[in-house]
Amino acid sequence: MNRNKPTITAQQMEKKDFSWRFWFTLPLYPYSERRTIRQEVVRDTVWTFDQLQGILYVIVPIRMTVVKLAEGGLLVYAPVAPTRECIQLVNELVAEHGDVKYIILPTISGLEHKIFIGPFARYFPQSQVFITPNQWSFPLNLPLSWLGLPEKRTQILPEDSSKAPFGEEFEYAILSPINLGLGWFGEVAFFHKRSQTLLVTDTIVSIPENPPPILLLDPYPLLFHARDNAFEILADTHTNRRKGWQRISLFAMYFRPSVLADIKWGEVLKNALKAPDRSRKAYFGLFPFQWQPNWQQSFERLRGNGRLLVAPVLQTLILNRAPHQTITWANRVASWDFHRIIPCHFDAPITVQPYQFRHAFTFLEKQPDFGLFSSSSYPLPGEDFQLMMEIDTALNKTRLVPPAQNKI
């Protein structure tokens, strides 16, 4: 017996299960440690796998969806980080329902989704990888194999979904690439007919009132943003967690919401010197946030009682560059008979009807037909779009990005 051999503790083994060693390729929180939560959405048919991502404790779920095929085996939509824990959770499904047969990269622009597909595919060497057409990389447009995709197993999704090997079970619609100057935006919506489930990547979200379960595994970021100043130490309560989540949602959607008051950096540094917690975890006491009393009203207007929403950044900087393409795509998606949507971020699953999906894109129309589902009760405040409008103006001046087109 080697008495000098180091002992691996249960805690160390647990951390190893969550380890993502390639975190430096996209250094987002929680960096090298990523927990995974699996949820069964449709019994023995559809499952979601949630992890976290964010900056400065502004964290939101990033989600992979797994669907059981009628003939046996699994289809994976938008892989997440293949940690030991994540792969074990997938393999539990493999043991019961068959191998991973297809892995889908449903975006051409979402780096937070693209970086995982190559490493994930290596764990399932029998799978075929299908990617959205018009992939690109910056600053050099590299071959797909150089981006970690398995060369012999990677194919481009056919424009006609019936020609895909899973075409009998799924329809999909490709949002034609939208020119953003230095690159392109595009994604693929997948409709699983048997479960009447729509899978989307970034175009649609729904914001829950309470923090998603994946954020509850470590509530520190929630409590960090629930504070009103650098001196406050909050109890870990449901109310404070919810408060932190709602403020995080405002940051994530608007970057600089209008209900965030101006605070001088001199005051921030002065307060940091007196903060009770000046640890690295607490950003050395720095807390450059001061919320106005009506911040929660802004959240309620953003959430709109959980309605479907196109994120403000997509409304003002991306989809308005191609309103006709986007509306054509949204019309096709809304023609499918789905009863739930699973996006890659924020809440899921969302119980909705197709007309509600279509309604989310009326911001691109001059005279939208609201029909049964009017947005007039939950208008997004124009002042919250100020930062993105400033970014849009700056981009137009540089002419690096095509200008927004007229509404249709």
Domain topology for 28-206+321-358? Metallo-beta-lactamase; Chain A (3.60.15)
pLDDT more than 70, % of the chain: 91
Q: Judge whether residue 335 has pLDDT over 70.
A: yes
Please give the average per-residue pLDDT across 98-107, as a whole number: 98
Q: Judge whether residue 360 has pLDDT over 90.
A: yes
pLDDT of residue 376: 42
Mark out the alpha helices in 195-294 (DSSP H runs).
Answer: 220-226, 238-254, 265-274
Over residues 241-260, the pLDDT tens digits come to 999 999 999 999 999 999 99
Residue 302 is encoded by which pair of tokens? 């953003």
Cα separation, 70 vs 352, whole angstroms: 24
With a CB cutoff of 8 Å and minimum separation 6, the contacts of 336 are 171, 191, 198, 354
Least confident residue range of 190-194, 273-277, 367-371 = 367-371
Cα separation, 49 vs 91, whole angstroms: 13
Q: Judge whether residue 4 has pLDDT over 50.
A: no
Please give the average per-residue pLDDT across 380-394, as a whole number: 86
With a CB cutoff of 8 Å and minimum separation 6, the contacts of 157 are 104, 130, 131, 132, 133, 164, 172, 174, 188
pLDDT of residue 140: 59
Cα separation, 6 vs 301, whole angstroms: 55
Least confident residue range of 202-206, 239-243, 353-357, 372-376 = 372-376
| Residue of 214, 204, 198 whose CA lies nearest to 60 | 214
- pTM of the shown model: 0.92
The overall average pLDDT reported for the chain is: 91
Residue 272 is encoded by which pair of tokens? 């940091």
Residue 147 is encoded by which pair of tokens? 């981006």
Return residue ranges of the chain for CATH 3.60.15.10: 28-206+321-358
Instruction: Report whether 340 contacts 191 (CB < 8 A).
Output: no
Over residues 111-164, the pLDDT tens digits come to 889 999 999 999 999 999 999 998 887 655 666 666 788 989 999 999 999 999
Q: Judge whether residue 379 has pLDDT over 80.
A: no
The gap between the terminal CA atoms of the chain, to the nearest Å, is 76
